[in-house]
Structure 1
Amino acid sequence: MHRSWQLEVQGRRLAVMEWGDPQGVPVVALHGWLDNAASFTLLARHLPHVRLIALDLAGHGLSDHRPAGQPYYIWDNVADVLALLDELALERVALLGHSLGAGVATLFAGTFPERVSRMMLIDGLIPLDYAADQLPELMAEALVRGARLSRRSLRPYSSVEQAVQARMNGRWPVSREAAGWLLERGLRQQPDGWTWRSDLALTQPSIVRLCEQQITAFVRRLSMPVLLVMAEQGIGIERVEAFLELMPALELKVLAGGHHLHLEEKAAAQITEWIGERLA
């Protein structure tokens, strides 16, 4: 069983799922791109004594979209995580992040290291970057592509089953059960069929991204224990290798499985065993 509630941040509604013991160790969970808080359903089953608090990031799941025309910059999520902690009067928490959520966790912990007791990251560590000397060209390309993409609309699915199949067979495949969890918060019915709740603007190219030097400055402030679990068939360890030696209390684990390790039964059991040991 989970508990669902909402908080308001500057007039926007952010949706939250909670599992486990309300008096347990608080763990704030941050999901990946185009997923939602239900991404942590399987881990929650294995962590009944933890207070697992999962946020639907802006534009995802049941949370409000950002205003029309406002880009989705990863650093804007830092303010939303801070608002969540303040709403719950949590001075210090453990952070659990997957993919995009891992990047948000790193930015938050680098910004407010005193608010984070430890980090547990799944197949992700840092935000995607733009090389500083290539930013003008990349910005131009993003603006041109974004203007073209803003004129498109997605064809609705004729049934929930069609949407389930699409989610199961996406770029990062998941099981039928996992697809069902994600679609429960990620799908809505309209007169002409079923459509994703997530903001289509999330799929537009980023106009600006942090550069490697800026990301390094955040990673260097991660003095807390960090458990990083990478997937053998995930984003690739090479994407994060250059940053590993910057964290003095890093534990690196590699597990067989795909990018959504935490939604695979065997890998999820191992991940939660490691998490439980470190929260004990």
Structure 2
Amino acid sequence: MVLMEAPNGCCCSCWHRAIAFDFRGYGLSQHPPEPEKASFGDLVVDVIGVMDCLGINKVLAMPLNSLFPYTFVNDISARATTWAFLVGKDFGAMPAFHVAVVHPERVSGVITLGIPFSLPGVSAIQMHLLPKGFYVQSELQVASDDQEIMDLVNPSTPLPPWFTEDDLKVYSSLYENSGFRTALQVPYRTLAEDCGITDPKITAPGLLIMGEKDYALKLPGLEGYTRSEKVKEFMPNLEIIFMAEGNHFVQEQLPEQVNQLLITFLNKHST
């Protein structure tokens, strides 16, 4: 979670204060008391709980990935409006969308990377937007009956230049601490659970950043859903940016460009 503040007489990008948190069961946070019952609803409670604790009235959230959800806040003065923006990456985008739908009065904007608008539960997205045969199509590499998924991985493949051995050690140590139980329970095992939302729409400003080389675009129907702007049926005030060389981890691959996109969006919608 990231808090962004700007004093009177200063442009919005002058001051930034960042507050990063791990969802329950991730990173350094404790596991939920009943991990088998964990759901996306818990993550919504986590976001709102952090906002309440910090006295944030309006937030903009951006989850960078399963470990790093962020909230950007612009606080012009002690008496002025607080702008809150949710930013999410990958499955972390879903809690951001969910909070923005059920708590619109607290969200000033939503930024997501790699994932267009979606919510847990099939009923949360209009069925007519999904392509025919969506649940039986497979455009991604999958393990065969006599394989494990790790059999598809070549262990000799070098790390990309934007991801170092030190980065890998940090991720590994965090998963050694938290384990994979919650990571598998939320989002994967609860993805189909009905979240109880009948009118999934976000009216706050939105920004979707996609890499042209993101493997997520191979998911059946996702590229068409995004490029045809069908996604704007749910987020009418959405801006979509495709980064030519970007992959699924564009925030690590091209951090300076992504940061500039975020700052530009925040400045535009914090006045």
TM (normalized to structure 2)?
0.60
Change (3 A) 1:246 1:181: same
1:247 aligns with 2:229: no
CA distance in 1, matches of 2:172, 2:88: 19
Cα distance, 1:183 vs structure 2: 3.9
Q: 1:210: Cα distance to partner? A: 4.4
| Matched residue SS, 1:51 | coil
Distance 2:38 2:98 in 1: 15
CA 1:217–1:202 in 2, change beyond 3 Å: closer, same or farther? same
Paired residues of 2:40 and 2:190 also in contact (CA < 8 A) = no
Encode CA deviations 1:55-102: one digit per residue, 9 max, x unaligned.
211211111112244333122200010000000001011111111111
Deviations 1:85-136 (A, max 9, x none): 0000010111111111111100001111111111111111323544699xxx
Whether the 8 Å CA contact 2:122–2:192 is kept in 1: the answer is: yes
2:139 maps to none
> Larger deviation: 195-204 or 79-88?
195-204
Shift of 1:279: 2.0
Query: Is the Cα contact below 8 Å between 1:65 and 1:199 reproduced in 2?
Result: no
* Higher share of residues assigned strand: 1
1:176 aligned counterpart, secondary structure: coil
Q: Are the structure 2 counterparts of residues 207 and 278 from structure 1 closer, same or farther at C-alpha, using a change threshold of 3 Å?
A: closer
Q: Does 1:232 align with 2:198?
A: no
Aligned partner (choices 149, 166, 184) of residue 180 of structure 1: 166
Task: Indicate conservation of the 8 Å contact 2:28/2:177, yes or no.
Answer: no
Question: Which residue of the partner structure matches residue 29 of structure 2?
Answer: 63
CA-CA distance at 1:186 after TM superposition: 4.8
Cα pair distance change 1:103/1:231, threshold 3 Å: same
State the TM-score, normalized to the length of structure 1: 0.58
Q: In the alignment, is the contact (CA less than 8 A) between 1:167 and 1:174 conserved in 2?
A: no
C-alpha contact 2:90 2:114 (8 A) present in aligned 1 = yes
What are structure 1's unaligned runs of at least 5 residues?
A: 1-15, 26-46, 134-164, 189-193
CA distance in 2, matches of 1:77, 1:263: 24
Q: CA RMSD in A?
A: 3.5
What is the match of residue 206 of structure 1? 189
Aligned counterpart in structure 1 of residue 252 of structure 2, from 237, 254, 263: 263
Structure 1: distance between partners of 2:179 and 2:28: 8
Q: Is the 8 A contact 1:216 1:243 kept in 2?
A: no
Deviation at 1:276, TM superposition (A): 1.2
3-state DSSP of counterpart to 1:258: coil
More displaced stretch, 124-133 vs 76-85: 124-133
How much does 1:49 deviate?
Answer: 3.0
The correspondence of residues 45-64 of structure 1 with structure 2, limited to 5 A, is 49-64=15-30
SS state at 1:106 partner: helix
In 2, distance between residues paired with 1:216 and 1:166? 47
Judged with a 3 Å threshold, the aligned counterparts in structure 2 of structure 1 residues 81 and 252 are, in CA distance, closer, same or farther, namely same
| Alignment check: 8 A CA contact 1:116 1:224 kept | yes
Matches for 1:136-155 after TM superposition, within 5 Å? none
1:144-201 alpha-carbon deviations (Å, 9 max, x no partner): xxxxxxxxxxxxxxxxxxxxx89986xxx78433x6346436516xxxxx93534324
- Secondary structure of 2:36's match? coil
